[in-house]
Structure 1
Amino acid sequence: MLNVTVIIPTYYDWERLQLCLHALSKQSYPQEYFEIIVVNNAPKDKAPENLIIPNNCILLDEAKPGSYAARNKALKIAKGDIYAFTDSDCQPKEDWLEVAINFFIDNTEVERIGGEISLFTKNEKANWFEIYEMFFAFPQKEFVTIDGMAATGNMISKKEAFDKVGNFDANLMSGGDGEWGRRAQKAASQISYLKDCIVYHPTRSSSKDILTKNKRLAGGYLSVAKKRGASSVVSLLVKGLIPPITAIKRALNKKDQPSKNKAIAILVCYYLKLSATFEVFRLLTGLSEAERI
């Protein structure tokens, strides 16, 4: 049996972390073969006394802001042959680890897995923002097959991939999974999308939640563009004003969604793209600071 380290950053999210830990306690993969490392990225916010921590789980603190700094803290002490990343607001399916490990055993050339992130809504009747999330949040299959990376809400990697690629960029507040994924691609680290390796994630249901995430992503995009040079920053601003053609095509191709929902998703998507571009401008001019995790 392969030993696994599950890594979970958390930030003022104890209630949902408890649900995540409960889901991990139900894993079909034997508990004695995996450890869980939770990293609290807000050390002043202590874990509640009633938090149920499994026997195979340890809790660390990381004061440096950002979920990638928190993940790196866990990587320093991880003992597993396999690193399984998820987030405190996710609930892994019971066979999450088992499916991933079996895939690695059967496909020895693969070093990384991007598993499905299955969304569910809080409200029986989805609002505009939930509809948008159902269309566009966490397109993991596209991340893997087109970009060669996986969102860390459900990314499972062999230790050897990190040995040759290095850890996450701890200075990034967002987009660190994409940045690490690009390095892994350059290092010829093979990745596969695994539909049956599932974690469940709630849709964001309020404009505040969506816009906070949008600001965070804008900061991540700008950080990556700055590394590439001034022309990339200018390109980011210019392209940010263009309607999201790829997203529009993706929405229109959703055969299981009514036309009304497609229109709503496209409108919200373009609004958020313009909003992110404005945030990039604010960051460049010093009118705003990068959002944390």
Structure 2
Amino acid sequence: MTGGADNRLIRLALPGGIRVTASDDPASSVLTRFFAGYDRAFVLPDEREELDGFEACLALNASHRHAYGRTHSELVAIFEDEGGTLLGGANFLATAIDRGPALPPAAVALNYVYVEEAARGRGLLRLALAAVRQLARIALGLAPDGPTPAIFIEQNDPLRLTAEEYAADTAHSGTDQVDRLAIWARIGTRIVDFPYVQPALSAGQQPDDGLIYAAVDYPGDAVDAGLLHDHLESFFGISVRKGEAEAPGGVAATQLAALAARRAPVALFPMEPAIAWLRGGRPADGFDSFRTLAMAAAGGEA
């Protein structure tokens, strides 16, 4: 990869002639290009961010660069071929977190990532994740060859979606919910054993408890509770709440308080046993979420 900054843009070159352009500017044409593909990929009402929401998040780069005692950068990125055809896009928040040399130096909230239907099956997701890590290093001023930033991602929970939501998202994306989890499992994604709820993205939306929180290729079998707290505090405050304070006792505050009080690390569970359970046609009625199924399956109880 090669990288360079020009007028608030970061550019990378990936194998296969894939070009990456990223920006932290709400007025950038990169956001417009990203949103065109994003609008085709995401359909569920409480998971969607509208264009003005992305603009608000990117605008916080000016006011919240060093919020919460940490350094942040909210970015949108597009992936194109040599002819300028859009292949995919990503939106993420990179946060520098200093919890000691044994832990990742930064965490990435991969808010949204998509691959255009015509570009699927080429290994673009792996390349996109490598690019996101490099973009995070550049945006935060970290050493380009330093330790790898951690990546966290929300995913639809097939056990918590209604039948209508399941069908709508699958029909829109062209990918079954369990098949999508299997794709992420193949690149080392594991379930974070934490009862995660996404706070409402806007005043007109509701908190979303139909999501799985997961870590992508995280080193070790558990996430440090302090690192997860710092990461979620930044993610909730910037990417979700867009700088707006939450009412006392809200969804974000409750989760952060639980992590602040926690001393034990937060376990990570593999997805594959739970995916095999669901694909085998076995009933999942006894599990209230994919997380609890994954936990039981990892212990041999499912």
Same fold (TM over 0.5): no
Q: Comparing both structures, which one devotes a greater share of its residues to helix?
A: 1
State the TM-score, normalized to the length of structure 2.
Answer: 0.28
More strand by share: 2
